[in-house]
Amino acid sequence: MTSATPIATRHGTFVAQFNDIGLCRLDFPGKALVPKLVPKPAGLAKCWLASAAAALKSLLLGLPPRRLPPLDLSAGTEFQQLVWRQLLKIPLGQTRSYGEIAGRLAKPGASRAVGSACGANPIPIIVPCHRVLAAHRRIGGFSGGPGWKQRLLRIEQAEFVDELGTTELDTFYRTVTP
């Protein structure tokens, strides 16, 4: 059984989907239909929703969540699940490259496969695929849509190179120094 529940944030309304194992999907605002009639969650689902909402809101404020809801990552292939578990190890405000993740999985030639796994991540933000960058700290792709990866990295104050080739740190220093 899967249930979809909206989670309202200052960045829009996300849609969380839960199954018998836990949170199995999180959609960005505008990416999924928000259910009109949502039954009040009960039991474990109520606890998981509260945990997911609190974790999401903390992350969107640039704060580490106190705890995560149970995550069901079984929708992915074995390789995708390995990548997603690696993503959970990247600390808030830090980034890794697709190549670094591939290396940590002992698959040094699998950078593109890591990128594909990040793109297939069913629980973005909570499983932080936005913290994975292309070579030389360039943004790379992101399934959340235009601007979301940059927005999330800015919230976390992580350094990355924008489309113009400047780092966010460079942009910060230009605005605060005469």
Give the integer Cα–Cα distance in Å for 63 and 78: 30
Q: How would you class 15 by CB atoms within 10 Å of its CB: exposed for 0-12, middle for 13-18, buried for 19 or more?
A: buried
- Secondary structure (3-state) at 85: helix
Extract long-range pairs of 7-10: CB within 8 Å, 24+ residues apart.
7/49, 7/52, 7/53, 7/56, 9/56, 9/57, 9/60, 10/60
Residue 97: name the closest of 140, 157, 144, 150 by CA. Answer: 140
Catalytic residue among 24, 47, 118, 129: 129
The answer to whether residue 129 is catalytic is yes
The answer to whether 162 touches 171, Cβ cutoff 8 Å, is yes
Give the H/E segment covering residue 26: strand 23-27
Catalytic residue IDs: 129
